[in-house]
Structure 1
Amino acid sequence: MYKRPNVLLIMTDQQRWDTLGCYGNKAIETANLDWLASEGTVFTSAYSSTPSCTPARASLMTGMDPWNTGILGMGRGQGPMKGLENTLPEQLAGAGYHTQGVGKMHFHPQRSLFGFHHTVLDESGREDEPGFVSDYRRWFEQNKTGDYGFTDHGIDWNSWMARPYHAPEFLHPTNWTVNESIRFIQNRDPGKPFFLKMSFARPHSPYDAPAFYYDIYEKKDIPKPLIGEWSAMHHVEKDAASPDAWRGKRSDGEIRRARIGYYGNIHHIDLQIGRLLMYLKKIGQLDHTLILFTSDHGDMMGDHHLWRKTYAYEGSAHIPLIVKLPKAMEGALVERSNAPVCLQDIMPTILDAAGVPIPDSVDGRSLLPLIRGESTPWREFVHGEHSTCYSELQEMQYVTDGRWKYIWFPRIGTEQLFDLASDPGECVDLATDEDHSVELNRWRDKLVAVLAERNAGLTEQGALVCQAGKPPIVSPKYEGMCIR
């Protein structure tokens, strides 16, 4: 009889793809995740189809494309994550799994379970309903060692500012997330396999790494921002003046400190992940556990004078994805895959590995054939989008196969083309280069074909239609999700 594996889904918040040693970063120390990568498969062309928290997590939870979850971003016309059905934890719970969510969920209402038997929450500063207090914040207040609060570092939740953590390290939300995850494994139903989604609130700002980690990167030579020849449009002093700026150049020292705090947070997370892996090994469950590591989206970190997320650019949309199969499923595995994959593929991968039927509502595909090196038809590209959030300049649609990337800005009617093979930093925009007009038309046509199926006024007679001055695009699927 097939014994279903435990499933550990590790998710960070706002971690760009190039901040792990296994993705080629020589400055950062991520020993535990690099070990996980050496034992599994690294997906080098994984993308977030809607690179901001709510829509990305909705696609991960359901395996559905953004148009079908009904959430196209966190901007105009878009709603919160509610009414989800046929979710990953729901399917696993129905198949006999003990399911638990720890950390950041971004559900609405915030105590919704969406198939989890239980959740223990760290929602950072989000308080969507009167009286809501996250489990982490309640624990922090009960265990702090002095007269201070959990935001007394003085940094906002979307700021570029950085500094060492202001409280003892044991109070940091990263430690708490792993503590609660280990507590769940200790207290789980021993007669069932478990599904644990361990969801960290970092390295998303505040960039508040504990002093030990902050000091490491303060002494290191870490990568500087990538600045393209087209990036001057985002060098806007008025916008940069905001403590939570979405664009604009801060001083070199401020940018470096942001990256120091961000790298330190990732190093901290890696060591805490190591604690959980050691515990699983100690109790004899590591070899019986399917482990996946990913993030909901990235962080521009000053690249092209941009901050935060929601963009089609590599720093925002390109995410890490590592899959390690349980020992019983191991064999001739592919170490690295450059197939274009996305968050929608995580749910069917887990269900496939667990021997659980995949609902018809799922748009993503199981990654197991890619991991095993099987000859299988695969998508040619990933399509992504995001509604207006910070500015109409930022609303976008994109298509990429990890080799080329085409971006369209619906509200201003402009486009960009990047050759990621020769220009992975997207510093040279080829959209106006006559020598690349054939490539431009080829990729524009791919986006037109995707959007034409929606019949939402984004295309007409095979061409893209500028949305300047028009109401926000809203998926008709969202209302149905909310009714459910």
Structure 2
Amino acid sequence: MNTSRYLIICVFLIFGVHSEGKSQQNTNNQTDSPPNILLVFVDDLDHEPLGFMGDSIIHTPHIDQLAAEGVVFRNAFATTATCITSRGTLMTGRYAARTGIYFDQFDELTAEQAAISFPAQLRQSGYHTGYVGKWHLGPFREGMFDDDRAYDGQGQFWSEEHPPERGSHLTDRLGNRAVSMIHDAPGDKPFAVTVGFKAPHVQDGFHPVEPYPASPATAVLYERDEMPAPPLSDSAFFDSQPDFLKESLNRVRWEYRLGPPESLNFQRSLRRYYRMITGIDRQLGKMMDALRETNRLDNTIIVFTSDHGMYLGDRGFAGKWLGHDTAIRIPLIVRDPGLREAEAGTRREQMVLMIDLLPTFLDWAGLSPQEGVQGSSFAPILAGGDPGDWRSEFFYEHHSFPDRIPRSEGVRTERYKYLRYLDSEPLYEELYDLREDPQESDNLAGDPDHARLLRQMRDKWEQWRKKVR
């Protein structure tokens, strides 16, 4: 064969094979289409007991890896620290004052709200949408999901169908469903999948049962670890609070779930709480493996967050609901493979809220939010931008179960927080300088030196409660 002709053929074959491989890779990764979105939505997860947050006891290697490869939002918050209400804000991008979704009053999406939810809008634009796990917003409305693998109500970690002796814990079952959903997602369109873990929520929210029944796979973890006392957990601080707080459901649950930090019950419960988080971490690892196996990891944005924070003995409480940062601050990690490598493992300080997830998801899909959405896309912040008009404050509200949990509203700015307990007589307010007092231990509301600041924050509260409706 002629030498030059041989070289031409070899070059053609080499570049032809390379191009074909590149084309096949693009098809598998769907690089020419909008990104896949995987939302891992955890229930009752405090933002601190995670390895990347500096907790030296807990094992969360997959969550830590997500943080190392993605962006961590250090100031992410729920606008209402209640499971159902927070889910309503997630789905609609609106404050509870606008959705009307409060736990004891109205606890499901209306047909109109379902139609404007982020799954419905993504599905209408061509996404394959799916949901796994705890839904907690009434029946699924038509048009939201192509693949429904949710369950009704709170759910049980163990059941007659899945008893402990068979080793099939709810967290593991949900992880398996999520892996299956990823494998089953069609290859000709992007997907948006939400995985709603019940853990580390307690087994039953209203009765003194075993709070945190962990999977056998994590049953021996942390058994020898001494769980540290949480902030403001001393009896003197608890006694300094007004009676209506000391008699609230937060304290009732503390009595049987936790108790004093030195007690056996506290140590046992916190160890099991940590085990539940590690159980979620293992399922996250399986989901990331499934994305690799289906060649989707390089075109899937993974979002890891929680519906709200938790009092784990802080202030002598157990639960959530109130407006302190312990209850409203949430973990938020976003791993976007489309970002520059320099952004991996970085932190963002801007205030990001639960209501921002919907417009952000739509932004990634090339869509714009409809009128009435109260959140904003944080996609530019994720990419390293610094929008000059980004928020510097937000409104907080809680109105569920006023006979057991005091109704409250307030405003949190970058430096100050004002909380107002609506039914208290006489009126009880809290005012904190978060820069000087991040634990919110020194209530300045009664301090004459801060009277002007108190008036300013009251004015903000009045303006915000009108604005959010």
Q: Do the two structures share a fold, i.e. TM-score over 0.5?
A: yes
Say whether 1:231 aligns with 2:238: yes
Q: CA deviation at 1:429?
A: 1.9
What TM-score do you get using the length of structure 1 for normalisation? 0.79
* Structure 1 residue identity aligned to 2:422: P
Aligned to 2:281: 270
Contact 2:250 2:317 in 1 (8 A): no
What is the alpha-carbon distance in structure 1 between the residues aligned to residue 340 and residue 196 of structure 2?
Answer: 26
What is the alpha-carbon distance in structure 1 between the residues aligned to residue 49 and residue 385 of structure 2?
Answer: 29
Aligned to 1:82: 110
What SS does the aligned partner of 1:218 have? Answer: coil
1:19 to 31, 49, 70: 49
Aligned to 2:123: 93
Give CA deviations for 1:266-308 in whole Å, capped at 9, x if unaligned: 0110111111112212222111101111111122122112111
Say whether 1:201 aligns with 2:198: yes
Aligned to 1:117: 146
2:92 to 39, 55, 62: 62
1:444 to 438, 458, 466: 458
Structure 2 unaligned spans of 5+: 1-30, 204-211
1:394 to 406, 410, 425: 406
* Structure 1 residue identity aligned to 2:183: Q
What is the alpha-carbon distance in structure 1 between the residues aligned to residue 56 and residue 278 of structure 2?
Answer: 13
What is the alpha-carbon distance in structure 1 between the residues aligned to residue 374 and residue 276 of structure 2?
Answer: 33
Aligned to 2:23: none
Q: CA deviation at 1:247?
A: 10
Q: How many residues align?
A: 419
What is the alpha-carbon distance in structure 2 between the residues aligned to residue 241 and residue 446 of structure 1?
Answer: 32
* Structure 2 residue identity aligned to 1:80: E
Q: CA deviation at 1:62?
A: 1.1
What is the alpha-carbon distance in structure 1 between the residues aligned to residue 173 and residue 316 of structure 2?
Answer: 33
**Cα distance 1:419–1:294, how it changes in 2: closer, same or farther (>3 A)?**
same
**Cα distance 1:418–1:257, how it changes in 2: closer, same or farther (>3 A)?**
farther
Contact 1:42 1:323 in 2 (8 A): yes
Give CA deviations for 1:217-276 in whole Å, capped at 9, x if unaligned: 221132323226552245559996679869986972212222111111001101111111
What TM-score do you get using the length of structure 2 for normalisation? 0.81
Aligned to 1:216: 221
* Structure 1 residue identity aligned to 2:58: I
Higher mean C-alpha deviation, range 233-242 or range 203-212: 233-242
Contact 1:398 1:407 in 2 (8 A): yes
Say whether 1:330 aligns with 2:340: yes
What SS does the aligned partner of 1:112 have? Answer: coil
What is the alpha-carbon distance in structure 2 between the residues aligned to residue 96 and residue 404 of structure 1?
Answer: 43
**Cα distance 1:332–1:365, how it changes in 2: closer, same or farther (>3 A)?**
farther
1:358 to 364, 369, 372: 369
**Cα distance 1:288–1:450, how it changes in 2: closer, same or farther (>3 A)?**
same
Say whether 1:344 aligns with 2:347: no
Give CA deviations for 1:126-152 in whole Å, capped at 9, x if unaligned: 6xxxxxxx9x98xx655x4xxx5xxxx
Give CA deviations for 1:376-422 in whole Å, capped at 9, x if unaligned: 11111121111042636621112213543221111102111223334
Q: CA deviation at 1:427?
A: 2.4
Contact 2:420 2:430 in 1 (8 A): yes
2:325 to 307, 314, 324: 314
Contact 1:57 1:296 in 2 (8 A): yes
Contact 2:254 2:317 in 1 (8 A): no
**Cα distance 1:123–1:324, how it changes in 2: closer, same or farther (>3 A)?**
same
Give CA deviations for 1:327-380 in whole Å, capped at 9, x if unaligned: 334365381112111111011111111212322232111111111222311111
**Cα distance 1:257–1:424, how it changes in 2: closer, same or farther (>3 A)?**
farther
What SS does the aligned partner of 1:201 have? Answer: coil
What is the alpha-carbon distance in structure 2 between the residues aligned to residue 243 and residue 338 of structure 1?
Answer: 32
Greater Rg by CA? 2
What SS does the aligned partner of 2:319 have? Answer: coil
What is the alpha-carbon distance in structure 2 between the residues aligned to residue 27 and residue 439 of structure 1?
Answer: 40
Structure with higher helix content:
2
Higher mean C-alpha deviation, range 193-202 or range 204-213: 204-213
**Cα distance 1:66–1:393, how it changes in 2: closer, same or farther (>3 A)?**
closer
* Structure 2 residue identity aligned to 1:96: G
**Cα distance 1:310–1:81, how it changes in 2: closer, same or farther (>3 A)?**
farther
- Share of identical aligned residues, percent? 30
- Please list, as runs of the form range in 1=range in 2, the aligned pairs for 1:222-261 lying within 5 A after superposition: 222-227=227-232, 230-232=237-239, 233=241, 234-235=245-246, 252-261=263-272
Aligned to 1:9: 39
What SS does the aligned partner of 1:437 have? Answer: helix
Contact 1:47 1:382 in 2 (8 A): no
